[in-house]
Structure formats: structure tokens, C-alpha cells
Amino acid sequence: MVARARQIAVGYGEGNCTLRQLHYRLVAEGVIAHSPPMYRRLSARCAEARRRGDFPDLVDTLREVHVPSAWPDAGTFLREVADRFGLDRTQGQPCALYLAAEKDTLRSLMTGWVGELGISVLVVRGFGSQSSVDVVRARAAGDVREHRLLFVGDCHASGEDIERDFVARTGCWSTVERVALTYGQVLAYDLPPAEGKRGDPRWPAFARRHGLDPARPVQWEVEALDPQELKRLVLAAAAPHIDRTALARQIAREAERRRALRRFAGSWPHGSRVPAEQAEEAGAAESTVASPVVHDPAAVERFWTAERMGDAEPLPMPEFDEDEYDGPR
């Protein structure tokens, strides 16, 4: 169990995997049972392995250490500012595109996947509070473009209603697409069900829609889907909404301004530990992938395909009609 959990955690990348994600991946593979005792056992075994230095760090999205920002000197601050500088990469795009995650465990993955595209990520966390709804509505009111939403969440009775409720209360979307998890995907990927919430008033209608046993509530967690496949689904859904040439131009402008900031930081007279020549070299080599020549459509297409979409071909999907559950503790 621990050996396979280690492989899964490494596959998510450093600082991207939660215990919950490990649990549902192992359940989906049939390695462990879906039960509270097994969840606790997995937690204890992984923690033991981490104390031995034999297991990668997991993310705890609920407990953080909040440290006030501080720098050893002004030169270090200026260099960090240069590295963190970014333009609004949605500038020049035909629409304002948002990616919504039903649960916070997906936030780290999704911000990493779509951050370079400038796409904003919304963490809904079940039925959204009025405060969060107001924030989304205020952002939409300040942007005259069409607003389009991509939604990722669990496949269960209340999960469908969480999406419906969020869309209705925010009331600002021209289009809404559920990227995952749909019942068609559950069947296509052969994902194992977990026990659903008994007494959920939405379950009978959900069971009728999908031909399920009304006496046996079940649900499917999006964490059971391989993260690379979920990433492919998300980027494939985002691609039609992105003007690739406008994005490439904005990336090129951003890189130019970062180089200028690095030159300035390198010439800072007090506390800077990096000579100006070294800062110039760092600016020139800031990325292992060259920005595309923005006037060459073929170069833009190659840049997008290689860096954003990967080489994977979409999996064939059959045609199907299409509660916040926190999992075992």
C-alpha cells in the first residue's frame, strides 16, 4: 500500500498531493477499501514513512503557517519582485475564462495547470457562501467581455446541484461546461463507486437519471481520476477559448519587462549580492522554452501544443446522457 502510495504522490509533483487524493486513487485501483478505518490506516502509514524520510511531503490545505513577508536586504527584494512580475495574460482574449473546482484539494493542481494561461481558478467548496458569490459577481461586473465557466467536481447527487446553485447565484456566465466528473466519464474510465450519503434528498432523482439502484446511494470522487488525464481534460476544454497569438504576445511582453527589472535590480547599490552582468545573464536565460515569434502563426501553434496541451491524444468517449462529501475520516 505505502509503496504504491509513494508512486502516486511522486506522480502529482512536489507539493501537489493530498492524503485524500492518495486515498481515492488507491481505492480506484483496488489497492485498499473505501472505509474510514482504511483512511486512518493510510494516514498513519504514510506519516510513519515521512518521519523516516521515505515518503514525499503531502499537502495539508487546512493548516498553514502564516509568516510575515521579510527580505534580508532591498536588493534581494527587488530581484524577487522581478521574478514574480506578471502581466494580465487574459488581456486581448475574447472572453473571461474561469475554472471552478468544487473542492479545495484541487486548487494546487489546477492553479499550476492554467496559471500560465492567465485563467482564474474559483474554489467553490460545496454550496458557495454569499460572500464568495458576491466576489465573483463584482469581478464580472468590471469586465465587459463574455464570462465562460469550466467546472470540475465529484459525480454524485448533490454535486450536480452544487454546480447548478453556483451558476444560478452568480448569474454571469455566457457558457458553462462540466469538464469532470460526469457519469459518462465514470463509465468510460471504469471508476469504482464509493458509498453515497444516505438521506440525501437529491439521490432518488439522480438515481433515476442514471439508472442506478435507488436503495444504494453511491458517488464517484474526481480524485479517483488520474491527475494527468484530468489535466488533459481541463486544458482541452480551455483551448477553444484562448487566442493563442494574443497570449504569445503577452508572454513576450512580460519576459521583456522581467529582463528590464532584473537589470535594474542588478544595479541596485545597497545590499544587492548579484552583479549587474549576472542579473543580465539571468534575464536572458529566464526560461528553458523560448517564447514564440509572435508574427509567425506556425510558431505560436507549436508553442501552444508543446507547452500547454502535451502530445496525448483524447480518449474515445461513449455517448451518455449526463453534497459535498468530505470522504472518510
CATH of the domain at 232: 3.40.1360.10
Is 65 inside a domain boundary?
A: no
Is residue 115 predicted with pLDDT exceeding 50? yes
Contact 101/153 with Cβ under 8 angstroms? yes
For 87-115, the three-class secondary structure string (H helix, E strand, C coil) is CCCCCCCCEEEEEEECCHHHHHHHHHHHH
Phi, psi of 220 (to 5 degrees): -130, 130
Report the distance separating Cα 190 and Cα 97, nearest Å.
Answer: 30
Q: What angle do CA 257, 259, 263 make, to 5 degrees?
A: 115
Is residue 301 predicted with pLDDT exceeding 80? no
Q: Is the pTM of this model over 0.75?
A: no
Report the distance separating Cα 58 and Cα 187, nearest Å.
Answer: 30
pLDDT attached to residue 32: 83
Query: In 124-210, which ranges are E strands?
Result: 146-152, 175-180, 194-195
Considering 241, 262, 277, which residue would you say is the last residue of a domain? 241
Whether residue 215 sits in one domain with residue 135: yes
Mean pLDDT of 144-152: 95
Whether residue 210 sits in one domain with residue 153: yes
Is residue 317 predicted with pLDDT exceeding 60? no
pLDDT attached to residue 107: 85
Is 63 inside a domain boundary?
A: no
Considering 241, 262, 292, which residue would you say is the last residue of a domain? 241
Residue owning grid cell 480518449: 315
Whether residue 134 sits in one domain with residue 38: no
Is residue 114 predicted with pLDDT exceeding 70? yes
Structure confidence at residue 211 as a pLDDT band (50, 70, 90): very high
Considering 222, 241, 260, which residue would you say is the last residue of a domain? 241
pLDDT attached to residue 68: 86
The H or E element spanning position 280 is helix 276-284
pLDDT attached to residue 183: 93
Whether residue 281 sits in one domain with residue 154: no
| Structural domain harbouring 182 | 93-241
Mean pLDDT of 193-218: 88
Contact 202/163 with Cβ under 8 angstroms? no
Q: pLDDT (tens digit, 9 = 90+) per residue, 251-276? A: 999 999 999 888 888 887 754 455 54
pLDDT attached to residue 297: 53
Report the distance separating Cα 66 and Cα 216, nearest Å.
Answer: 44
Q: Quick one: cell of 307?
A: 507547452
pLDDT attached to residue 303: 53
Q: What angle do CA 222, 176, 226 make, to 5 degrees?
A: 20
Report the distance separating Cα 276 and Cα 271, nearest Å.
Answer: 13
pLDDT attached to residue 270: 59
pLDDT attached to residue 148: 96
Is residue 206 predicted with pLDDT exceeding 70? yes
Query: In the chain, which ranges are E strands?
Result: 95-101, 120-123, 146-152, 175-180, 194-195, 218-219
Is residue 54 predicted with pLDDT exceeding 90? no
Is residue 188 predicted with pLDDT exceeding 90? yes
Mean pLDDT of 81-90: 89
Mean pLDDT of 20-31: 81
Residue 312 CB contacts under 8 Å (≥ 6 apart), including other chains? 228, 232
Mean pLDDT of 209-238: 91
